Amino acid sequence: MSTPKLIRSTAAAVELLADNLARSFINSYPVQLIAQKTSTLSQLRRDDRGNPKNIRYILDKHCPSLTHPLLARMSPTPFLTSGEQHSYYCVSNALKRDNNSDVAYNREIRTMSDNGTISLDWYPSRPSDRSDPTPIVIALTGIGGSSYEYHIRCLAKTLATQEEGKCSRLVVMNYRGASKTPLTTGKLYNAHDTNDYRNIVANISQQFPNAPLIGAGFSLGANLLTRYLGEQGSDSPLTAAISVCNPFDMSALGDAISANTAFNENVFHPVVTSAVKRMFVKNQSIIKSSPIGFDYDAVMKAKTTSELFLLALAKAYNFKDCQDYFHFASSTNYIHNIKTPFLAINTLDDHIAPASALPVRAIQENPYTALALLEKGGHLGLFCGVDSKIWYLNPMAEFVNGAIASKKIL
């Protein structure tokens, strides 16, 4: 190719690239970051565990996808025009396998003190050396979910394929009876009891003392994680934590899933109820003999998630009704006591975890907590670009590495 033609060809390519970048910017939405404002000097202060006393230090220094004027944006996938479409796409792709999600877990079975059983799915593998310093992200899924979900597998792959020196392991704590985990007692998953997660975190911390631990929670798993952090306060062994699409206010979630919408009737309720019913059928002898007193037949007839909350949680744990249980299980009232760098990611069009119920003021008043609020993305969707990548994976990886890099060894 002659020099003039090469120049014209290069110029055309640059012009096309610039045009695509401009279109992408125009069709994108900025990240609204909510966190306590502070001076640069106060950001440098540390707590007794070596963590920055203000999360702004981590965000401003290490998380350009949340703070940079040009990079802190999200371009929703063009064919997903509503929050419900993002959520449906997330559900419909739960079993999808591609280069971003093709992982093989290493499963570990743990027996709890009450003889209950938890399964841990590790990627790339469980550490073989006690002194291994590779960070470990300990994840909790939503109700009816497990390590198999597409967004969880994508997170595992993302964390494991960072640049050298920034890779992390992911371990997913599958709830009792979930993801082919045997149910060995009558105690089931619930949205309020943090003891299993507390025990798993403490055990991993003891087994691998050189590995920084990061918490990650999705949907109701994020609610559990937030409660755990508030309960622990300054005693949390986690270096940092990330919450994705946390409803925070369970009463608002209850109202949202009770709404007469096409998504609830055709997607949400069928997916969640079928998962719970499968677990009940598989473990019916244990469930029927449980002293908790589950109404097995009523659960099998339930058609909505609201009915399951009433039958399998509220009544089983001696709450008078769902509202009583939702009020107790909400994580909103625990935010003020979080003393671990905590990043929440939510969307304004989330029809399961309504933005109107987000504890914006509480998050802004706590120097350890921040909220990244997106215009679009639905519940656990947040698909961006024409290739439908999950937007929050990169900010999560940045925050994990930033929190670890910011922690001062005392």
Q: What is the pLDDT of residues 17-33, one digit of tens each?
A: 444 444 445 679 999 99
First to last CA, the chain: 61
- Which pLDDT tens digit goes with each residue over 160-175? 999 988 999 999 999 9
**Residue of 60, 243, 379, 388 marked catalytic:** 379
- Which pLDDT tens digit goes with each residue over 263-273? 999 999 999 99
pLDDT greater at residue 60 or residue 43: 60
The sign one gets for the Cα dihedral 81, 84, 87, 91 is negative
pLDDT at position 26: 61
Lowest mean pLDDT among 45-59, 262-276, 325-339: 45-59
Catalytic residue flag (residue 350): yes
pLDDT at position 20: 46
Catalytic residue flag (residue 219): yes
Catalytic residue flag (residue 289): no
pLDDT-above-90 percentage for the chain: 78
Half-sphere exposure of 176 (CA within 13 A, CB side): 25
Nearest to 85 by CA among 262, 324, 291: 262
**Residue 206: what are its φ and ψ, rounded to 5°?**
-70, -40
Separation in Å, CA 60 to CA 39, 43, 111, 191: 12, 10, 41, 33
CA 284 to CA 176: how far, in whole Å? Answer: 14
Q: Nearest-5° angle of CA 219, CA 220, CA 224?
A: 120
Mean pLDDT for all residues in the chain: 91
Cβ atoms 332, 363 nearer than 8 A: no
pLDDT over 80 (residue 3): no
pLDDT over 50 (residue 332): yes
Report which residue type is found at 124.
P
Cβ atoms 242, 338 nearer than 8 A: no
pLDDT over 90 (residue 408): no
CA 91 to CA 94: how far, in whole Å? Answer: 5
pLDDT at position 45: 76
**Residue of 101, 146, 219, 330 marked catalytic:** 219
pLDDT at position 21: 46
CA 326 to CA 51: how far, in whole Å? Answer: 32
pLDDT at position 33: 98
pLDDT at position 312: 84
Average pLDDT over residues 218-246: 98
pLDDT over 60 (residue 221): yes
pLDDT at position 43: 56
Q: What is the CA radius of gyration of the chain?
A: 22
pLDDT greater at residue 230 or residue 95: 230
pLDDT over 90 (residue 362): yes
CATH of domain 29-249+341-404: 3.40.50.1820
pLDDT greater at residue 313 or residue 338: 338
DSSP 126: -
- Sheet with 106-111, strands from edge to edge, namely 32-35, 369-374, 342-347, 240-244, 213-218, 136-140, 169-174, 117-123, 106-111
Q: Nearest-5° angle of CA 91, CA 92, CA 93?
A: 90
- Residue 373 host element (H or E): strand 369-374
The sign one gets for the Cα dihedral 200, 369, 255, 392 is negative
Residues 6+ apart with CB under 8 A from 218: 139, 140, 141, 142, 145, 151, 152, 244, 245, 380
Lowest mean pLDDT among 76-80, 193-197, 315-319, 358-362: 315-319
The model's pTM is: 0.91
Average pLDDT over residues 297-302: 93
Burial of 382 (0-12, 13-18, 19+ CB in 10 A): buried
Q: Nearest-5° angle of CA 287, CA 145, CA 125?
A: 105
Average pLDDT over residues 366-390: 97
- Tokens standing for residue 106: 């290493």
pLDDT at position 18: 47
Q: Where are the domains of the chain?
A: 29-249+341-404
Average pLDDT over residues 44-49: 76
pLDDT at position 37: 82
pLDDT at position 410: 40
- Residue 276 host element (H or E): helix 269-282
pLDDT at position 9: 60
CA 252 to CA 356: how far, in whole Å? Answer: 9
pLDDT-above-70 percentage for the chain: 91
**Residue of 28, 331, 350, 351 marked catalytic:** 350
